[in-house]
Amino acid sequence: MFPVLAFLVGLPVLAAIAIVLIPKSRSELLLPVAFGLSLLPLAVAGYMVWTFDTAGGFQWVESIIWMERLRIGWTVGVDGISLFLVALTAFLFPISILASAKISDRLRGYLVSLFILETGVLGVFIALDLVLFFVFFEIVLIPMFFMIGIWGSSNRKYAAIKFFVYTAFGSAFLLASIIALAVNAGPVLQTVSFQWNDLAQVPMTSAAQTWLFFGFAIAFAIKVPLFPLHTWLPDAHTEAPTAGSVLLAGVLLKMGTYGFIRFNLTLFPEATVKYGKWLALVAVIGIVYAALVATVQPDIKRLVAYSSVSHLGFIVLGTFALTLSSVQGGLIQMVNHGLSTGALFLLIGMIYERTHTRKIADYGGLASTMPIFSGFFLLAVFASIGLPGLNGFIGEFMVLIGSWQTFPVLTVVAASGVVLSAIYVLWAYERVFTGPPGKANKDLEDLNSREIAILVPIAVLIVFLGVYPKPVLDRMENDVNAVISRIEQSTNYERPTFDLEGRLTVDVGVPEQGESPSGEGSE
């Protein structure tokens, strides 16, 4: 079988090499070539989405053990949980490259960083070997560090170092936990193994689960980021170049939420059931707190950054609520947040190129001078606050409806985020776009065709996923079900049932929640 995933991850590396090989005298070719090459992984990802078997399970699995004694190797695969994160990654990179047309300083290095970043992110989402996962997890740090540190704005060094140290701090916990996990499972497996498949079958004592659960959780919580570990994000976002912000919000943060589902939920079911509520609590605090903080931010990029923290809280809440709808909602919210927040950062980048300011107070009345821009902005803004018909609603709605049964109080508090998000977003929109245009903003040019071309694909997806999310949800459903079923099998946790279940006289029309439809759940 053709190694699709190796090909997918290898393509950006090849692209980076190709970029290096372009002679200095032909540097005008850099961007077009990079853009063209970045479409290749997208094509592969598109093929994967198209041919993905909705029955679920890992597909396109490749497994080559490299160190037999430690069972470390190239083991990769994609299931319904990672499929759309892979697709989102492949989708956002061409867009980021297009959005970088104004970068002139060390463009070659910039593009190489982007491609290495893409390899790292794709690798994180497909790795089924914990060491491999960790390697990719760390690879991502380096290009991002340079993107913020070299191509960022005024306070970039501080932000880059903060970003790096924060995440490296989390990674230390991750590495220690991975090793402890493998060693701990050694006696049962009769060998040390870093294979996800092996480890997922090993029963663990609750003490071990607790320690490892929190070890993984700290690393992922920093990446997500969860309150109170979030302060690197606003700085990183504010200082990063546009593409950096887009990718940071779009895919890098998802590595944390993905990690929660892939590792915490699957490997430590007992601890998940026991301690999930604490993470949900932190997530909900984050939702409200970050929304409040966002309200009064004077810098538009910081505002969006805080809104990210708030939105990601929903994902984590849904993940630990452990119902089909909530986990699935969290998962699709990852994609949706990537699109809508990505679009917002792109838009902010475009206006920054024109005005060279990010201060909300410096804007005003842009809707009259830049109608197309404001139209796109409005779309992205409403997608991000979860307006039905746009993608943001799907995830938020599923998470909230699904989480109520597990965490009623937390969910109510989380739902107040719906109000708060409307407040900060619309207030910012009001200050930036409405009113009479100020002197400085009178002669701004509206978006040119390149910029529109960047935004249209995102806008189309935003609307499409909002109206017809079924293709996406179908591909996720069985694997999400499998994750929850695993937890049910290995702990005394049971999916909440409905108050009136069994007494209803009219069919409810919901797929049976107790069992996974395809029987995928168990081995």
Partner 1 sequence: MIDFIWLVIALPLFGAVGLLFFGKRIGEPNSGRIGSALVVLSFFIALVAALPAFAGTLEPENVLLFEWLPALGVNVSLLWDPLSAMMTLIVTGVGALIHIYGTGYMHGDSRFPRFFTYLNLFIASMLILVLGDSFATMFVGWELVGLSSYLLISFWFEKPSAAAAGKKAFIVNRIGDFGFLIGLMIIFATFGSLSYSTVFANANILETGGATVTAITLLLLVGAVGKSAQLPLSVWLPDAMEGPTPVSALIHAATMVTAGVYMIARSAALFSIAPVSSGVVATVGALTALFAAVVAIGQRDIKRVLAYSTISQLGYMFMAVGATAYVAGVFHLMTHAFFKALLFLGAGAVIHGMHGEQDMWKMGGLRKKMPITFVTMLVAWMAISGIPPFAGFWSKDEILAITYGKGGAWVVLWAIGIVTAGLTAFYMSRLMFLTFWGKPRWDDGLEPHESPRSMTLPLAVLAVFAAGAGLINTPFRLSLEHFLDPVFEVIKVAHPPEGSTPWILAGVSVLVALGGIAYAYRRYIKRALPVEEGPRWDFLEEGFGVDELYGRTIVLPGKAVAESAAFTADARGIDGLVNGVGGAVKKLADAATRLQTGQVRSYGTGMFLGTVALILWLLVRGGAF
Residues 256-295 that bind partner 1 (CB under 8 A): 289, 292-295
361 is a site residue for partner 1 (CB under 8 A): no
365 is a site residue for partner 1 (CB under 8 A): yes
Smallest separation (angstroms) from partner 1 to the CB of 506: 4
433 is a site residue for partner 1 (CB under 8 A): yes
470 is a site residue for partner 1 (CB under 8 A): yes
Phi (first) and psi of residue 61, to 5 degrees: -70, 135
Find the part of the chain contacting partner 1 (CB under 8 A) among 78-86, 181-189, 271-279, 384-392.
Answer: 384-392
Question: Residue 418 in contact with residue 350, Cβ under 8 Å?
Answer: no
Find the part of the chain contacting partner 1 (CB under 8 A) among 137-145, 162-170, 183-191, 341-349.
Answer: 162-170
Question: Taking Cα atoms as reference points, which of 521, 511, 451, 492 lies closest to residue 95?
Answer: 451
Q: What is the DSSP string of 11-34?
A: HHHHHHHHHHHS-GGGGGGHHHHH
Select from 21, 23, 25, 509 the one that contacts partner 1 (CB under 8 A). Answer: 509
Distances (CA, A) of 86 to 79, 174, 411, 435, 436: 10, 22, 29, 41, 43
394 is a site residue for partner 1 (CB under 8 A): yes
Select from 296, 361, 440, 456 the one that contacts partner 1 (CB under 8 A). Answer: 296
Find the part of the chain contacting partner 1 (CB under 8 A) among 175-183, 203-211, 454-462, 465-473.
Answer: 465-473
Residue with tokens 């991750």: 174
Find the part of the chain contacting partner 1 (CB under 8 A) among 44-52, 73-81, 158-166, 261-269.
Answer: 158-166
Q: Give the whole-angstrom CA distance, residue 523 versus residue 513.
A: 19
Cis status of the peptide bond prior to 225, with omega within 30 of 0: yes
Q: Give the whole-angstrom CA distance, residue 105 versus residue 480.
A: 44
- Looking at the DSSP bridge assignments, the partners of residue 359 are 299
Select from 34, 429, 475, 521 the one that contacts partner 1 (CB under 8 A). Answer: 429
Find the part of the chain contacting partner 1 (CB under 8 A) among 36-44, 129-137, 229-237, 349-357.
Answer: 229-237
Q: What residues numbered 232-251 form the site for partner 1, per CB under 8 A?
A: 232
404 is a site residue for partner 1 (CB under 8 A): yes
Select from 193, 325, 384, 441 the one that contacts partner 1 (CB under 8 A). Answer: 325
Q: Give the whole-angstrom CA distance, residue 72 versus residue 135.
A: 12
Select from 401, 438, 446, 518 the one that contacts partner 1 (CB under 8 A). Answer: 401
Nearer to partner 1, 103 or 292 (CB): 292
Question: Taking Cα atoms as reference points, which of 380, 360, 275, 376 lies closest to residue 322?
Answer: 275
Spacing of C-alpha 9 from chain mean position: 18
Q: Give the whole-angstrom CA distance, residue 484 versus residue 487.
A: 5
Q: What residues numbered 165-194 form the site for partner 1, per CB under 8 A?
A: 165-166
Smallest separation (angstroms) from partner 1 to the CB of 415: 5
Smallest separation (angstroms) from partner 1 to the CB of 108: 33
412 is a site residue for partner 1 (CB under 8 A): yes
Phi (first) and psi of residue 256, to 5 degrees: -70, -50
Q: Which helix (H) or strand (E) holds 486?
A: helix 470-490
149 is a site residue for partner 1 (CB under 8 A): no
- Number of chain positions touching partner 1 (CB under 8 A): 72
Question: Taking Cα atoms as reference points, which of 471, 482, 494 lies closest to residue 519?
Answer: 482
55 is a site residue for partner 1 (CB under 8 A): no
Q: Work out the angle at residue 352's Cα, subtended by the Cα atoms of residues 295 and 230, and round it to the nearest 5 degrees.
A: 40
